Structure 1
Amino acid sequence: MSMEHVAARAVLFDRDGTLVEDVPYNGNPSLVRPMPGAVAAVAAARAGGLAVGVVSNQSGIGRGLLTWDEVGAVNARVEEVFGGFDTWQICPHTPDEGCACRKPEPGMVLAACAELGVLPEETVFVGDIEADVLAAERAGTRSVLVPTPVTLPDEVHRAETVAADLPEAVRLALS
């Protein structure tokens, strides 16, 4: 690792495919299903003294497929399942809007760090695809990739840190 290892004070999670099963453009709270081990992993992060947050691309808003209210209802259901998160960062833009927030850009990760009052190097970002890893790298945070069946093998190969599941990712963040 190029940067000196600094103890984590916060862990940020991608939502879809990381915390909960990926349902494309989900506006229905009843479709929220936690990924295996995810609820216990978030609880372990909190128990370890880490601030916890969610960083999520939701281009369905920009595409006109979802409303902010629908995304908010899904996020509220995520909090019913996992407990409250210390920060939520949502990018509503489509890929062609060229915003600074949509992963792999670092905007949401940096905004989460600022809201939590932690430095990027004190933060670990956990996600399931390379856009999450790149957003973390560009923001100066550590990244942990938790592959799913949709994660490309090349993305797994390129990732600096890979965990088998969310509990392992949180253990790595706490170590």
Structure 2
Amino acid sequence: MAADAEKRTRPALFLDRDGVLNVDHGYVYRWADFAWIDGAKAVIAAFNRAGWWVFVVTNQSGVGRGYYTEADMHALHAAMAEDLARDGARIDAFYHCPHHPEAVTETYRHPDPPDRKPNPGMLLRAMADWPVDRAASFMIGDKPGDMEAAARAGIEGLLFEGGDLCTFLKAQGRLP
């Protein structure tokens, strides 16, 4: 947990990355290929202002498949954070799973990675790392596996099927 993070329990917004925060062009790992989903930055800022934790939980099998490195992924996440900061927004933590059953290197090969959605490992780690009010928290994902991970972590999941993320949450009555 961030050293300066408050100790009080508060709700968390869990966000899948590709397809929810950024346009999913397939294995996005360079800032030059990154494009925010409409409304994504506004949603993050709104939840920041409302006092929620905001976490990204993202399968990154491209690392395990050898398409890019964890350093490449971390650089992209840093660029995302810098871009958000210019708008007065932040992601409190990024959680990722580079493991995959068919990874090209043994380091990343696992038959059923506990952090790889639909498994709930990343969400559970965030809840252990930060003082999260589980009952008030929810996840936004774009795949059934995201919804399964949320359910298995004991939180609500909202399936985002594209469009403007801010408009989607307003329609769900979930924008603070």
TM above 0.5, one fold? yes
* Unpaired stretches in structure 1, ≥5 consecutive residues: 1-7, 149-163
Give the 5 Å matches for 1:39-78. Answer: 39-78=41-80
C-alpha deviation, 1:111, in angstroms: 0.9
Paired residue for 1:128?
A: 142
The 3 A distance-change label for structure 1 pair 133 and 95 is farther
Pick which of 23-32 and 36-45 moved more. 23-32
| Contact preservation (8 Å) 1:19, 1:38 | yes
Determine if the alignment matches structure 1 residue 85 to structure 2 residue 84: no
* Unpaired stretches in structure 2, ≥5 consecutive residues: 1-9, 103-109
Give, in whole Å, the separation in 1 of the partners of 2:145 and 2:164. Answer: 18
Determine if the alignment matches structure 1 residue 101 to structure 2 residue 115: yes
Give, as a single letter, the amino acid of the residue that structure 1 aligns with 2:123: V
Q: Percent identity?
A: 36
Give, as a single letter, the amino acid of the residue that structure 2 aligns with 1:88: F
How many residues align? The count is 153
SS of corresponding position for 2:45: helix
Determine if the alignment matches structure 1 residue 166 to structure 2 residue 160: no
C-alpha deviation, 1:126, in angstroms: 0.7
Give, in whole Å, the separation in 2 of the partners of 1:117 and 1:9. Answer: 9
Cα RMSD over matched residues? 1.9
Q: TM-score when scaled to structure 1?
A: 0.80
Give, as a single letter, the amino acid of the residue that structure 2 aligns with 1:58: Q
Determine if the alignment matches structure 1 residue 141 to structure 2 residue 162: no
**What CA deviation, in whole Å up to 9, does each residue of 1:95-143 have, x standing for no partner?**
4521110000000011112222114323211111111111000100111
C-alpha deviation, 1:66, in angstroms: 1.2
Give, as a single letter, the amino acid of the residue that structure 1 aligns with 2:39: G
